[in-house]
Structure 1
Amino acid sequence: MQRSFLWMGCCLVLAYYQGIGQARTYVNEFLNLGAGARGLAMGTAQVAVTDNATSGYWNPAGLTRLDAPQLSLMHAAYFSGIGNYDFASAALPLSSQHDVLGFTLLRFAVDDIPNTLYLVNPDGSVNYDQVTTFSAADYALLCSYARNIPLEQSGDDARTLQVGGNVKIIHRVVGTFASSWGFGLDAGLQYRLPHWIFGLMLKDITTTFNAWTFHFTDAEKQILFLTENDIPVKSTEITMPQLIPAVAWDMQIREKWHVLIETDIAVTTDGKRNTLISGKRISLDPRMGLELSYRHMVFVRAGISHLQRTQDDADTTGRHQIWISQPAVGAGFQVKGFQLSYAFTNLANQSQPLYSHIFSLDIDIPHKKKLAAY
């Protein structure tokens, strides 16, 4: 019992980061949380329709839809404030009118985790004054480049192809005990017709790796040894590629009303996941989102994602399964270069809901002339 109490604050966190350097399921999963209240309210279905500064996260090809610099900010508190997610992105169109640069920074962290390594003195007495705290934080920086390629410009038959890519740097830390650095590449495209948009996002196209190092002091190593815990060594984690094809329907239904509907399918290659279609190596996770706008000023959004088949808790026989999902709704308001968006999302599932209120702000930056092309 004493050993269990000793490690209740940090052993569980460290266990997640230990392991052999192999391709495993759910590596760098913090990069799949989403970005911006618009995308979260639409059930994370954004690969085809994304067109603002958050595109560096969803699909860098969407950055080409911007004709002015833009800043996007979001903060979300998950699990009643236990986890904090902060997101910031900026997009900078160049003077060529075909090229855009983007920069995205995100952080997901659990702060103030008790470090009870020195809670129990050598004589067996308990000293709460020796309990300190630490943070387990994940950081990512995405540097994006996108280019617009006009294919045909003839009124209603206008067709365009947008392409883009990300270079991403990942840094993860667990207090002073462990840290890692990772690097990866993403690529995306959008193909636009008058009323249809096709998108494709290729995440971690060359696989993304995280190289972990551990920094225990001699005293900490001794406590690990005495409590029969393994002492971690250097290791690596590999994130396997993910493919997300998408299609969206974009239509003006009345003079002042506009509707946008998108469907995405996330195809993961890191093994069996709890998704709608799950295989030994490949799993498919569909998502759908809807946005209804009035004069492109007022927006109402809804979406659904993470369809899963799970055991019915009310069934004592263990034979009956039910479908669950993560629904979301939201709204937005845009005026004079400012767009405030809100999302009400379920971070868990319908059987054990965990709802969260999320706000984000997109700001167009006034400029007199385009940035000079590089």
Structure 2
Amino acid sequence: MKKIPLFLLLFLFAASYGQAVRKYSNEFMNIGVDAAALGMANAVTANTSDVNAGYWNPAGLLGVEDRQVSLMHASYFANIAQYDYAGFATKIDDNSAWGISAIRFGVDDILDTTELIDDQGNIDYNRISKFSTADYGVTFSYARKLPLEGFQYGVNAKIIRRIIGKFANSWGFGVDVGFQFERNDWKFGLMLRDITTTYNIWNIDEDEYAKIKNAVEGQNQDLPESTEITLPKAQLGMSKKFEFHYDYTLLASANLNMEFYQTNDIISTSFVSIAPAVGFEFGYTDLVFLRTGFGNFQTITQIDDTKKLSFQPNIGLGFKYKGIQIDYALTDLGNQSAALYSNIFSVKVDLGIFR
């Protein structure tokens, strides 16, 4: 049983609404998928070319040779929250491919103590119930080659579903567009997320909200906003794979992650903030992979007003055999930043091996 007090319930409820236009709405869709990519600090916009490209850059789905599935699980907040992902992709023909993926980020079995104390001040533990808060994202992806040699593009259509017990729920819709270009073994990628701005409409149960409204005197008196708009983001990447003695490879990649508002990123203006990320993957005979990456570069203001550069290092390990690949990533090394989670496992399978 997850014993979450009333104040966290109020926080979850209030944080889900806030302003109508929010910088960090639907942030569960930005956590990332695939331990291989997370081990490289998510710097995979240019080189992603498997089933997980539906998340990182849908243009990369053209790298799927047959049919692929991918699964990932991670825990958050000391196993209180669970993060799960599943994806499928297949080729349509030599020039096009499609895929579908789903993400769930949720906290289950939260104790609802809004009715613990009645109007007379009596405590009755039988009135405690449990509920879940969960965010769902389903993405439909399509990729196609452009008439120009080396160019390809992809499009994502995203459906967002967010639920906070019986208190409130919302539906949202958004669109991503991605591009990739390859020339002389160099790869370049551009991912534009939420280009239409992802729009969420909330349905608030006023009877249930009254319980929260009356739980703490003088707090949560105004009904929250019923709409959210997620602002666009962009990732620009490049990568190159080097081969040594036929058996060894080194993939080097870099990203510029852009948000169109001011943040603590090392490049920050009122129009755009930019945070770099770099990743490396050392491979042996396409069987064993070692990965590392550095990202989430932030300028942190200390208590004495001095500035400190913070970043998040990652490492990873992968094994691939006969179409089955298992990957592991460890994030938040050295306590450089507050990472969302630390240990991530994922598996990817080429379904052609079962023929």
TM-score, normalised on structure 2? 0.92
**Are the counterparts in 2 of residues 9 and 115 from structure 1 also a CA contact under 8 Å?**
no
Match of 2:244 in 1: 253
What is the rounded CA distance, in whole Å, between the counterparts of 1:368 and 1:133 in structure 2?
43
User: What is the SS of the residue equivalent to 1:221?
Assistant: helix
1:322 aligned onto 2:308? yes
Match of 2:80 in 1: 82
Shift of 1:281: 3.5
Match of 1:295 among 285, 289, 294: 285
Moved more, 51-60 or 108-117: 108-117
What amino acid is the match of 1:72? S
What is the rounded CA distance, in whole Å, between the counterparts of 1:368 and 1:221 in structure 2?
55
Match of 1:156 in 2: none
What amino acid is the match of 2:127? Q
Match of 1:239 among 206, 227, 230: 230
What is the rounded CA distance, in whole Å, between the counterparts of 1:354 and 1:26 in structure 2?
14
Q: RMSD in angstroms over aligned alpha carbons?
A: 2.3
**Are the counterparts in 2 of residues 146 and 164 from structure 1 also a CA contact under 8 Å?**
yes
| Pairing 1:48-59 to 2, within 5 Å after superposition | 48-59=46-57
| Pairing 1:1-374 to 2, within 5 Å after superposition | 7-21=6-20, 23-94=21-92, 96-149=93-146, 151=148, 160-217=150-207, 221=210, 224-225=213-214, 227-228=217-218, 229-233=220-224, 235-269=226-260, 271-312=261-302, 318-346=304-332, 349-350=335-336, 356-366=342-352
**Are the counterparts in 1 of residues 18 and 225 from structure 2 also a CA contact under 8 Å?**
no
- Residue-by-residue CA offset, 1:173-207 (whole Å, 9 max, x unaligned): 11110111110111101111232100000111111
Q: 1:162 to 1:351 in 2, by over 3 A?
A: closer
What is the rounded CA distance, in whole Å, between the counterparts of 2:343 and 2:312 in structure 1?
14
Identity percentage of aligned residues: 38
Q: 1:324 to 1:121 in 2, by over 3 A?
A: same
Shift of 1:350: 1.3
User: What is the SS of the residue equivalent to 2:342?
Assistant: strand
**Are the counterparts in 2 of residues 325 and 349 from structure 1 also a CA contact under 8 Å?**
no
**Are the counterparts in 2 of residues 112 and 135 from structure 1 also a CA contact under 8 Å?**
yes
Q: 1:108 to 1:191 in 2, by over 3 A?
A: same
Q: 1:6 to 1:61 in 2, by over 3 A?
A: closer
What is the rounded CA distance, in whole Å, between the counterparts of 1:368 and 1:347 in structure 2?
38
Shift of 1:293: 0.5
**Are the counterparts in 1 of residues 254 and 276 from structure 2 also a CA contact under 8 Å?**
yes
What is the rounded CA distance, in whole Å, between the counterparts of 2:120 and 2:173 in structure 1?
46
What is the rounded CA distance, in whole Å, between the counterparts of 2:269 and 2:185 in structure 1?
34
What amino acid is the match of 1:258? T
Q: 1:128 to 1:28 in 2, by over 3 A?
A: same
What is the rounded CA distance, in whole Å, between the counterparts of 1:355 and 1:141 in structure 2?
22
TM-score, normalised on structure 1? 0.88
Q: Which runs of 5+ in 1 are unaligned?
A: 153-159, 370-374
- Residue-by-residue CA offset, 1:324-361 (whole Å, 9 max, x unaligned): 11111001010101000000011995166776211100
What amino acid is the match of 2:247? K
Q: 1:246 to 1:6 in 2, by over 3 A?
A: closer
Shift of 1:6: 7.9
- Residue-by-residue CA offset, 1:54-108 (whole Å, 9 max, x unaligned): 10000000000011100000000012101110000000111x2211110010011
**Are the counterparts in 1 of residues 74 and 83 from structure 2 also a CA contact under 8 Å?**
yes
Shift of 1:310: 1.4
- Residue-by-residue CA offset, 1:231-283 (whole Å, 9 max, x unaligned): 525511111111111111221133211111111111111x2222222222321
**Are the counterparts in 1 of residues 326 and 348 from structure 2 also a CA contact under 8 Å?**
yes
What amino acid is the match of 2:348? D
**Are the counterparts in 2 of residues 211 and 234 from structure 1 also a CA contact under 8 Å?**
no
